[in-house]
Structure 1
Amino acid sequence: MVCKDAIKAFDMKREARLSEIGEGLLLKHILDTLGDSGDLLLPKGDDAAALEFGGRLVMAVDMFVEKTDKPASMGWRYAGYKAVAAVLSDIAAKGAEPRYLLTSLGLRGDMLFGEFEELWSGILECSRDYGVRVLGGDLSETGEVVVDVTCIGVGGNLIPRGGARVGELVAVTGAFGDTGAALHALLNNIEAEEDILMRFLKPRTRLREGRALAETGLVSACIDSSDGLAASLYHIAEASNVAIVVHKLPVSGKAGEYAEEHNLDLKELVLYSGEEYELVFTFSRDGVDRVREALEKVGCGLYVIGEVAEGRGVYLVDEEGGVEDIRFKGFEHFRA
């Protein structure tokens, strides 16, 4: 049996390493933060979570890895928050409602307990912000920190990524470029506006917008922009066997100012930064007013950026009417 005095002692030692604390005390600390079992059919800490359920089950999983996803200057609280926001964004793109999370943690033995507390508090903060409940998960020792989050939700009129049809419009839920500017600032220790930094560190997830779009019945394809705008457009085009022609890039004014000040390519920031967690979607032309109204009801604007065309690929029409290929580029694991 775990000694309560030992738990209290280590609770006070934020500088203690996890290798000193051990799995038992760490699990006890986690379980203490989850509240009572409520409507669960099995108590917290059991081998599985069980609950009554009816309807369409929607599930998504996302993994946050220290080496590839966490800049050195990013605090652990923001890392935890972002790990949850990423999987919620996938649920948002399907027009579904998230309900529960299962969170598996791979932690370094030399990680400080205070760092772990920050990571876990970020996970809980994001779940509370979006009304999602952490049911449990798993814990293991790894060479670097890994946060694997599974989200379980419910949905009605679900939106695929492969339903775009020729002649439809292509739109997004917000401007792009801020996250690229923020990452540039963080990696180079450059001061930047807090609004820009927060777009990267504590991203907004478009859950209400996704449900609003789904409820219109007019949206044929949708994806979140975690891999970047260009990659998202390519994913929709490939899954739908169509081409996408962009007439106007959704440029963030603040990103434009940052790019000019630091001599960065603004188009690169907009197309390839990634991790904006905006929704990229297609819908019928005659539904513009209804889609705009649905988004406005949840406090979001409609940004039409292009159209779906016959063919393959993604293209950009410049101000002179010239057409250029938008090359496929986004973060891809296992590639140099």
Structure 2
Amino acid sequence: MKGILLVNLGSPDSPNPKDVKKYLGEFLMDERVIDVPLWARNLLVKGIILNTRPKASAAAYKKIWWDEGSPLIVISERLKAKVQNQVTFPVALAMRYGSMTIKKGFQELVDKGVDEVLLIPLYPQFAMATTETILVLAEEVRKSHFPNLEVTDLPAFYNKPKYIEVLSNSIRHHLQGKTFDHLLFSYHGVPERHIRKSDVTKSHCKIDGSCCKTPSKAHEFCYRHQCFEVTRLVAEKLNLQEGTYSTSFQSRLGFDPWLQPYTDRTIERLGKEGVKNMAIVTPAFVSDCLETLEEIAMEGQEIFHEMGGSEFTTIPCLNDDDAWVNLLAEWINEWAMSETILSE
């Protein structure tokens, strides 16, 4: 029997500092998130970050927390329910970090008689710190606890025409009736070394402004290329004029070089240059979360207004949008019929 496991990032159980500290500890100790030797990761995370950051992070979570719980969890559960209504197979939801574990997700499906799972990482682009860490952990859990379970994963879908159409239509809908001078595509940042580590050719990714535009096998696992490609394809679909849109990266941590340009500095620059009405979309996420609701919608707007900007429009993620649900259901049914997944 077939089943579906949707997997997103995760969330603390509550916005209290104790729960946030526990969540941050699991998240930041992941070797694919902070990819330094264990001794250095322990020193950085347990010696510094977990003694300084939880209180501030908890305050940020409290700003965006809903009555029903964590926005990311609530939205993901809504998505799961809608997808379940569109397919005949059991659908479960899990998180890479936190109490909604991948093991629990697999167990829920196995208890319903499932022996063949389509694992769907809810990330359009591939990255070490998102898709890869989900797939690695899922395989470890499968081997240890569900050795008879057959698991197939949905590949990155950042450039698939139907996904680009759904994303573009969502952006168009939320900008309807609004005037904007600039549309900023803001993606979650990663350290530059992650890009080089993911380079299967070991030579292509130089982050020099040209490698992402030069065809290569490296692009299959290059987060930077895939982000810029989403921007290019959506801009093309929306007929955006050159100079009216750009790409940036948010949420950097530490002092190592991360992907640039940085979102906060880009918002600041646009305000200083006289942009009065800007819109921002976050296509590295399919569900609104702390990084979109607080870092962008609140902090980003504050920066823009401080720089003289007027209208700051935050475009929601796809969340449980019906067109997005329908597309997921279509991909699931393709897999169930043993056809090529993501044919379009």
TM-score (norm 2): 0.23
Q: Which structure carries more strand by proportion?
A: 1
Between structure 1 and structure 2, the one with the greater Rg is: 1
Q: Structure 1 or 2: larger helix share?
A: 2
